[in-house]
Amino acid sequence: MFQKVLLFQILISAAICSRGLRNTVSTTFIKQTTTGTITSEIPVSTRNDKVELTVYYETLCPASVDFFVTQLKPTVKRLTEHLDVHLIPYGHAKTFRSRGRYFFDCQHGRRECFANMVHACAIDVLRNNTHSIFFNSCLMQYISYQSNYDYFVSVVSWCGYTEKVHIAEIWKCVKGLRGNILLKKYGDATHELSPSYVPYLMINGSTQHQDEASSDLLGTVCRILNPKPKACRS
């Protein structure tokens, strides 16, 4: 009489790696025989259901603006549940300390330092990645290094209206000590990495996908994600 063999597939682990992005799934096959139960653990797949993206940039750099408007915003709009985005608005700037405050010298002048601080405060106040990315993308789309202060303020109000953002708390941050400290923090992070150009991208803590992600962020993220979400198949 032939022995009946029963095969059970049991999920036994979903170990999260250090950045909380890659879930390694293992499967145990349990075979019942007349002599007892034999088990063997076989890794069957590696899940990447969320991608961490860190963007080092400066607000008035044309390349940074283009990346936000044509790559980052559309990708976040389609894959927001599968992205963990960290924005680092500072770029090729310098930080100085005087009389208990920090001062900044930015590549595209004082307007860029001011815009960087608005971005830093928006990230801090809004908390939500998607909300801050859409708001900051709006600012970058309509502001240039030639924009004067009054025009800048009007654009902040306009983007607040279109993105449903209450800008009062953002202005409070910009005009107070909080914005100063935040931009210093982003400066420290940028100087530690010392990128030779911006926008500078890190995906899951690596620069491996830097070039392809700069021109095809959606395609790059979709190639990393496993399993592929519906947004990557449409």
Rounded Cα distance, 213 and 215, in Å: 5
pLDDT tens sequence across 121-171:
999 999 988 999 999 999 999 998 788 889 999 999 999 999 999 999 999
Answer whether 136's CB lies under 8 Å from 68's CB. Answer: yes
Phi first, then psi, for residue 7 (nearest 5°) are: -115, 120
User: How many Cα atoms within 13 Å fall on the side-chain side of residue 58?
Assistant: 27
Nearest to 76 by CA among 20, 132, 159: 132
Q: State the pLDDT confidence band at 111, using cuts at 50, 70 and 90.
A: very high
Answer whether 64's CB lies under 8 Å from 71's CB. Answer: no
pLDDT tens sequence across 68-99:
999 999 999 999 999 999 999 999 999 999 98
